[in-house]
Amino acid sequence: MDAGGISVARALGMDAALVRDVLIRFRRDAAGPVTRWTLGGRGIAELDVEFFPILTAAGATSPAWNTTARLWDTEGVALVHAVIELRAVAVDGCELTLCPEFPLAPWWSARLPALLDLAHATLDELSEELLWHATRDGVATQRSL
Encode pLDDT of 29-46 as tens digits: 998 999 999 999 999 999
- CA 28, CA 1: separation in Å to the nearest integer? 28
Phi and psi, residue 122, nearest 5°: -65, -45
Could you give the CA distance from residue 55 to residue 65 in angstroms, rounded to a whole number? 9
Q: CA 98 from chain center: how many Å? A: 6
In this predicted structure, the answer to whether residue 27 has a pLDDT above a threshold of 90 is: yes
Average pLDDT score, the chain: 88
- The per-residue pLDDT for 4 is 62
pTM of the model: 0.88
Fold held by 8-54+61-134: Alpha-D-Glucose-1,6-Bisphosphate; Chain A, domain 4 (3.30.530)
Give the model's pLDDT for residue 55. Answer: 80
Question: Which amino acid would we find at residue 21?
Answer: D
